[in-house]
A = this chain, B = another copy of it.
Amino acid sequence: MMLAKEGQMSYRWARAHMTILDKIMIRNETKKPLSGYKLGFCLHITKETSVLVITAKMLGAEIAICSANPLSTQDDVAAFLYSEGIRIFAWRGQSERQYRECIKRVLQSRPDILTDDGGDLHIAAHKLGTTRFYGGTEETTTGVKRLEILQSTKRLKYPVIAVNNAYTKHLFDNRYGTGQSTIDGILRTTGLFLSGKQVIVCGYGWVGKGVSVRARGMGAIVTITEIDPIKALEAHMDGFNVKQLSEIAQLGDIFITCTGNRRVIREEHLIKMKDGAILANAGHFDVEIDVDYLSSQDKFPVLVRPNVDCFKFRDKKLYLLAKGRVINLVGAEGHPPEVMALSFANQLLSILFLAKNYHSMENKIHNVPPDIDINVAHYAVEAAGLKIDDC
């Protein structure tokens, strides 16, 4: 009960900084446009998510929710949502099996619309073999990429709105949301100094851009690794060092993966790293750093601080943060509420759009309708107290 109370405090704090969602709610509240709809959510269970969930409930929806990552759930928020009558299947520190099981539970609640972060819920829904879903939304680049594979092979069974593709989502959430919260996660887990540190950022997509600029803003010397020549050139012209990872491996103090790819940091790099190097992942899945290799070299890593595992091998220590899972959610609190307000405003408006239009939408990946994107921007400009020029 006390946990639920704490979660409620967190919810209220977040809500106070997500006024965009209030505005959407107020405009729709009397009509209860989601009443009669069952929503299935697979999201990180954070204070910001609780604002989305409670808002959707206020608009009439019935909701079941599981976590988008075994380690990212904030248990107080989960307790609070449970106390509010939400069917929630999530706790911090799930096993892989428990994680899968919770996704299944959400699907068993027979949701009409699926809102996912990373694609695990959508993939599981497609494996079920049923076509009963009205539609879905997807929060991340990683999830959209996975859905694109389904789409390219004509296997997509319901329309999905790629919330990630909204300008008001990826320009801010992916870039500056992740940028700040990744720095936050590294500071909380390590407590170390960033000024003058050699920080290696793998990948210069939106996440990599945000992480790089914030690391530089904290005084670090940042080097980018890339496989895409256009992004490499952009990093270069943005004033960052650009190197091959194998070349820079022995110089880095802190490595941060932001690629969406597998085994980006692997044996060939790990053996070159210097004593004391720190490894963090800002990507959705825990596959970017080859944790298996590390584990094969030191079967009994020592936890030296919360979320910091020390692997000893070849006469050196390497420190893995958050077990290679997404550092901002495991090591800190995820994105701050102001930026999640943008993303979740897109989510909520996309869910409302689906509820109204799903029957006429093709089974493909849809972009967020431009007027939703623009509206969210107008709300956000107002929330920030800004005034802009008329045409």
A residues engaging B (CB < 8 A)? 9-10, 12-13, 16-17, 47, 167-168, 171-172, 176-177, 179-180, 183-184, 187-188, 191-196, 214, 216-221, 225-230, 232-234, 236-247, 276, 304-305, 308, 332-333, 335-339, 373-374, 377-378, 380-381, 384, 386-391
Q: Contacts A220-B239, A233-B172 hold; do A188 and B188 have CB atoms under 8 A apart?
A: yes
Query: Are A219 and B237 in touch, CB under 8 angstroms?
Result: yes
* CB < 8 Å neighbour of A388 from B242, B378, B391: B242
Query: Are A13 and B229 in touch, CB under 8 angstroms?
Result: no
Distance of A172 Cα from B221 Cα, bound (Å) = 16
List 11 other contacts, CB 8 Å, given A16-B276, A176-B219, A195-B339.
Answer: A13-B304, A17-B276, A172-B237, A180-B187, A187-B187, A191-B332, A225-B389, A227-B389, A229-B374, A236-B381, A236-B386
Which residues of chain B have C-beta atoms less than 8 A from A332's C-beta? 187, 191
Q: Name the residue of chain B whose CB is nearest to the CB of A334.
A: B191
Query: Are B239 and A221 in touch, CB under 8 angstroms?
Result: yes
Query: Are A380 and B229 in touch, CB under 8 angstroms?
Result: yes
Complex A-B: 26 CB contacts under 8 Å: A9-B305, A13-B305, A13-B308, A17-B193, A171-B230, A176-B237, A180-B193, A180-B194, A184-B188, A188-B188, A191-B337, A195-B236, A195-B237, A195-B339, A196-B239, A214-B217, A214-B219, A220-B239, A225-B388, A227-B389, A229-B374, A230-B374, A233-B380, A236-B381, A245-B389, A246-B389
Q: Name the residue of chain B whose CB is nearest to the CB of A247.
A: B387
**9 interchain residue pairs of minimum CB distance:** A217-B217, A229-B377, A193-B336, A193-B338, A196-B236, A195-B237, A230-B377, A232-B388, A176-B195
Query: Are B227 and A390 in touch, CB under 8 angstroms?
Result: yes
Q: Name the residue of chain B whose CB is nearest to the CB of A167.
A: B230
Query: Are B193 and A339 in touch, CB under 8 angstroms?
Result: yes
Distance of A391 Cα from B196 Cα, bound (Å) = 23
Query: Are B233 and A221 in touch, CB under 8 angstroms?
Result: no
Q: Name the residue of chain B whose CB is nearest to the CB of A197.
A: B338
